[in-house]
Amino acid sequence: MSKPFDLYDITIIGAGPVGLFAAFYAAGMRGMRTKILEALGVTGGQLTVLYPEKYIYDVPGFPKILAKDLAKQLEVQAMAYKPTLILDEKVVDLKRLDGGIWELQTVKGVHFSKTVLITAGHGAFTPRKLGNPSVERFENMGVYYSVTDKWMFKDKKVMIVGGGDSAVDWALNLKDIAAEVILVHRRGEFRAHEGSVIELFHSPVKIMIPYEVKEAYGKDRLEAVKIFNNKTNEEVVLEVDALILQLGHLVDVSLFKGWGLEMEGNAIKVNGRMETNLPGVYAAGDIAHQTDSVKLALLATGFGQAAIAVNVAKNYIDPKASLFPGHSSEKRM
C-alpha cells in the first residue's frame, strides 16, 4: 500500500505493452515520477496472457518476435528508468481532489497523481467460462483458461475447447509437446486465421466438431471429459490430463464509465492529444478511441498514442516544458 500523498507526476493504469512503453517514455524520456498499477501479477497484458507463444510480425524493427519476448523487452526498457511498478493491484476508482490531484483507489489502497494515463486494454481479463460446475471444480487442477508455461503440458493428453485463433494456435503450439491434443469446437467451422486452420487440418491434432463439453470427471484433479455431438447427441468420454478453455474474454469497461469518462462503445473517448474529458487524464492503446481517427487495436498505434499522451501530460503539469522531448538518440539515457 502506498503512503498517503506520495504524489507522482503520472500514474499509468495497466502494465500491458502500451503502459510499459508509456512508463519508459515518462520516466526515461521526460524524467517524470512514474507509477504503474497493474491488476494482474504479471506485466505484458495480452502479450503475456493471451498469446505468449505467438510470433508478432508487425512491430517496427522486429521482423519476427515472440509475444512473450516483446513483453519482456518492454519491461526491461521501462524498468531501466525505475518507475514504481505495482502488480496485483486493480484500480477500482478515480477521483479528483481539491487542487486537481487525482486519487486512484485500488483493491489495496490509494495512490495520488498529478496526471493519469489509462492503458487498460479491454479492462481486467475475465475469461469466459463454460458455466458447468463439474468443469469449474477442477480449475487449476487440470482445467485452465490460459497457458503461461506450455511445458507443463509436456507428454500430457490435452483437450482444448474453442474455435477462434487462441484455441487453434494453442492446439498447433502444443501438438509437438503434448502426448495428444484434442480440439473440441461446437461449430462445423473455425473462426481462426485461414492459414492456421489449414495447418490444423494437416496436423496430428484430433479435431472433434461439432462437439461440446458435457461433464468433467476426476478425484483430486481432472481425469476425463465427456463431450457430445450437438447434431447427433452421440457422447464420448475421453481420458485427459488437462482441459484448456479458450472461449474468449469478457470485456468489462463499466468501471471506466463510473469514473465519469466519456465512452465510445467499449473504449474511452480521446482527442488527438489523447486527452479524455477529465483534465489531466489520458488514455492510449486498445482502451482508447480517438475521435476523428480510425480505431486500430495494434501495438504500433498504441505505442504512438502512449508517446503523445505522456508528452501532453508533461506539458500539462509543467506548461513551460516542451511538448517535443527531443530524440532519444541525442539524450544521455
Ligand X SMILES: Cc1cc2nc3c(=O)[nH]c(=O)nc-3n(C[C@H](O)[C@H](O)[C@H](O)COP(=O)(O)OP(=O)(O)OC[C@H]3O[C@@H](n4cnc5c(N)ncnc54)[C@H](O)[C@@H]3O)c2cc1C
**Separation between Cα atoms, residue 21 and residue 27, nearest integer Å:** 10
10 part of the interface to ligand X, by CB under 6 A: no
Do residues 224 and 237 lie in contact, with contact meaning Cβ atoms separated by under 8 Å?
yes
CB of 289 to ligand X, least distance (A): 12
Stretch that binds ligand X, among 74-82, 108-116, 118-126, 232-240 (CB under 6 A): 118-126
Size, binding site for ligand X by CB under 6 A? 38
Options 123, 142, 162, 163; binder of ligand X; rule CB under 6 A:
123
Of 19 and 28, the one with the shorter C-beta distance to ligand X is 19
Q: Which positions from 209 through 268 interact with ligand X, judged by CB under 6 A? A: 255
Do residues 229 and 211 lie in contact, with contact meaning Cβ atoms separated by under 8 Å?
yes
- The cell numbers describing 82, all together, are 525505475
Backbone φ, ψ for residue 201 (5° rounding): -70, -15
CB of 43 to ligand X, least distance (A): 7
Identify residue 326 by its one-letter amino acid code.
G
124 part of the interface to ligand X, by CB under 6 A: yes
Q: What share of the chain is helix, strand, coil (3-state, %, to 5)?
A: 25, 30, 45
Options 172, 299, 309, 313; binder of ligand X; rule CB under 6 A:
299
Options 9, 75, 165, 275; binder of ligand X; rule CB under 6 A:
165
DSSP state of 30: T
CB of 19 to ligand X, least distance (A): 5
Q: Which positions from 58 through 77 interact with ligand X, judged by CB under 6 A? A: 58
DSSP state of 24: I
Options 10, 19, 29, 52; binder of ligand X; rule CB under 6 A:
19
**Separation between Cα atoms, residue 179 and residue 199, nearest integer Å:** 19
Sheet order of strands, 288-290 included: 263-264, 267-270, 288-290
Stretch that binds ligand X, among 122-130, 134-142, 154-162, 204-212 (CB under 6 A): 122-130
119 part of the interface to ligand X, by CB under 6 A: yes
Of 26 and 225, the one with the shorter C-beta distance to ligand X is 26
Q: Where are the alpha helices (DSSP H) in the chain?
A: 17-23, 46-49, 67-79, 133-136, 165-174, 194-201, 254-258, 299-317
Q: Enumerate binding residues for ligand X (CB under 6 A).
A: 13-19, 37-40, 45-47, 50-51, 54, 56, 58, 90-91, 119-125, 165-166, 255, 285-286, 297-300, 302
